[in-house]
Amino acid sequence: MKLDTRAMRHLASEDWRVLTAVETGSKNHEIVPTPLIEKLSRLRGGASGVHRSISSLAKVGLIARVKEAKYDGYRLTYGGLDYLALHTHASRKDVYSVGNRIGVGKESDIMVVADHSGKQCVLKIHRLGRISFRTVKSNRDYLKNKNAQSWMYLSRLAAMKEYAFMNALHEEGFPVPSPIAQSRHTIVMSLIDAFPLRQISEVPDPASLYAELISLILRLASHGLIHGDYNEFNILIKEIKSTAEDGTESIKLEPVIIDFPQMVSMEHVNAEMYFDRDVNCIKRFFLRRFHFTPTQPGPFFKDAKKTVGKDGLKRLDASVEASGFTKKMLKDLEAAIKKKEADKEGQEGAEDEEDEDEDEDSSEEEEDSEADGHEGEGSGSGSGQEGLLSDGLSQSLL
Ligand code: ADP
Ligand code: MG
């Protein structure tokens, strides 16, 4: 879904109130009846003002009219939720303008944004349930028992969980983006000036990068965590250049980990499967891309398990749960993420698996854009950085 913020500046304060009223109403109503919108917006001008706002909001697609047999009403669209989140970020001065999109997944949009001082950051908009929406039939039962607008609830959970983990990991000194803000289904974080491992065709010393990536898996485990999607798209590689006294230049590669909504605890019933999957993902990639095979087997889950919380290490799985994430929320999100994975495999799985195995260098660039559902707009900050302020496309929100 494309985020177009142009209409934002033209919304009057009454429009924001009405939009917020639709959001509030949709917590309990799949379709928010017009009288309820009137009641919740509490506009001084009364019903006519509300109706005016409703029609301007509907015109720009922030709410959509739904005609039901029982009653007419409106539902919030993804666009509407995007606007509400951006409005919050703007009023808290975390985001001033929105620039280029640097990544598009099936369940997220990644935009470069800037704050008041012009500092560039990344806005991640979670779009969980987007796939489920397309395959509504098979999901009907699942959606039936959920909150009125399941996609909204699930996308918010994904953002909350990702933000909570980013905070916990950042505090513990893990190489992750700095968390800046969260609102609804979105988070704002620092922009990492790096490319995904996926786009790196050569490294001077694969063994040492491999060792570093494995040691990150083990370090996460010792804090009670498994990334759960530890692949070449979710590991960004920073190049740190340095010059020695004798003038020789050297480049050090530093991984930064991103994408945390699916993280699981080392106590999870399927922890071993997730742990092994993360390890194997890295092994497979290093073999394919760099023709590198580690000399030692493992690491193994049972050994990693023994290190959890050792010597007083902070249990981050527990601290995230303590941050207000209930078991039910984790369960709901996990079900949705599993569903998402199954959908993904169903849609592109067969082809993709083959690609994974055969994948030789030549064909990689092309499939890059599709394999993870990212559009070929370039990813990583490389493309984003030139984008935002130079091409005039950046849209200020106020
Ligand atoms: P998804 O859940 O859709 O996989 P990710 O969080 O993995 O979303 O982000 C998708 C892509 O966007 C990444 O592969 C990376 O190229 C880019 N990206 C995400 N966050 C950042 C960031 N903080 N800095 C730079 N690039 C980022
Ligand atoms: Mg990702």
- Residue 347: the pLDDT is 63
Residue nearest to atom 14 of ligand 1 (CA): 233
How many angstroms is it from 381 CA to the middle of ligand 1?
9
In angstroms, the CA 320 to CA 180 distance is 17
Residues with CB under 5 A from ligand 2 (ion): 233-234, 259
* Longest CA pairwise span in the chain (Å): 80
Closest atom of ligand 1 relative to the 105 alpha carbon? 3
Ligand nearest to the CA of 108: 1
258 pocket-lining for ligand 1 (C-beta < 6 Å): yes
In angstroms, the CA 136 to CA 161 distance is 25
**Of how many residues is the chain composed?**
398
In angstroms, the CA 185 to CA 84 distance is 10
78 pocket-lining for ligand 1 (C-beta < 6 Å): no
108 pocket-lining for ligand 1 (C-beta < 6 Å): yes
- Residue 122: the pLDDT is 97
- Residue 137: the pLDDT is 47
Ligand nearest to the CA of 158: 1
- Residue 381: the pLDDT is 39
107 pocket-lining for ligand 1 (C-beta < 6 Å): yes
How many angstroms is it from 257 CA to the middle of ligand 1?
10
Closest atom of ligand 1 relative to the 198 alpha carbon? 14
Active-site choice (82, 109, 115, 229): 229
| Residue to substitute in 102, 197, 369 for testing ligand 1 pocket (most ligand atoms within 8 angstroms of CB) | 102
Residue nearest to atom 4 of ligand 1 (CA): 105
- Residue 262: the pLDDT is 94
Which residue, among 159, 158, 151, 18, has the nearest Cα to 84 in the 3D structure?
18
Q: What is the pTM of this model?
A: 0.85
- Residue 213: the pLDDT is 98
In angstroms, the CA 14 to CA 18 distance is 6
| Residue to substitute in 233, 258, 263, 370 for testing ligand 1 pocket (most ligand atoms within 8 angstroms of CB) | 258
Closest atom of ligand 1 relative to the 381 alpha carbon? 25
189 pocket-lining for ligand 1 (C-beta < 6 Å): yes
Closest atom of ligand 1 relative to the 258 alpha carbon? 6
- Residue 386: the pLDDT is 34
- Residue 174: the pLDDT is 98
Ligand nearest to the CA of 340: 1
- Residue 280: the pLDDT is 98
Asked if 123 contacts 110 with a C-beta cutoff of 8 angstroms, the reply is yes
237 pocket-lining for ligand 1 (C-beta < 6 Å): no
Convert the chain into a string of H (helix), E (strand) and C (coil). CCCCCHHHHHCCHHHHHHHHHHHHHCCCCCCEEHHHHHHHHCCCCCHHHHHHHHHHHHHCCCEEEEECCCCEEEEECHHHHHHHHHHHHHHCCCCCEEEEEEEECCCEEEEEEECCCCCEEEEEEECCCHHHHHCHHHHHHHHHCCCCCHHHHHHHHHHHHHHHHHHHHHHCCCCCCCEEEEECCEEEEECCCCEEHHHCCCCCCHHHHHHHHHHHHHHHHHCCEECCCCCCCCEEEEEEEEECCCCCEEEEEEEEECCCCCCEECCCCCHHHHHHHHHHHHHHHHHHHHCCCCCCCCCCHHHHHHCCCHHHCCCHHHHHHHCCCCHHHHHHHHHHHHHHHHHHHHHHHHHHHHHHHHCCHHHHHHHHHHHCCCCCCCCCHHHHHHHHHHCCCCEECC
Mark whether 229 is an active-site residue. Answer: yes
Closest atom of ligand 1 relative to the 372 alpha carbon? 4
Question: Under 8 Å CB-to-CB from 98, ≥6 apart: which residues?
Answer: 3, 5, 86, 111, 112, 113, 123, 394, 395, 397
The gap from C-alpha 350 to its chain's centroid, in whole angstroms, comes to: 25
Instruction: Read off the tokens for 398.
Output: 């106020």
398 residues of the chain, pLDDT tens digit each = 677 888 888 999 999 999 999 999 998 888 899 999 999 998 877 788 999 999 999 999 999 998 876 888 999 999 999 999 999 999 999 999 999 999 777 789 999 999 999 999 999 999 987 544 444 444 444 444 444 358 888 999 999 999 999 999 999 999 999 999 999 999 999 999 999 999 999 999 999 999 999 999 999 999 999 999 999 999 999 999 889 999 998 889 999 999 999 999 999 999 999 999 999 999 999 999 999 999 999 999 999 999 999 999 999 998 888 778 888 888 888 888 887 777 777 665 444 443 433 333 333 333 333 334 343 333 443 333 333 333 445 677 76
Ligand nearest to the CA of 166: 1
- Residue 332: the pLDDT is 87
How many angstroms is it from 255 CA to the middle of ligand 2?
14
- Residue 279: the pLDDT is 98
- Residue 380: the pLDDT is 41
- Residue 395: the pLDDT is 74
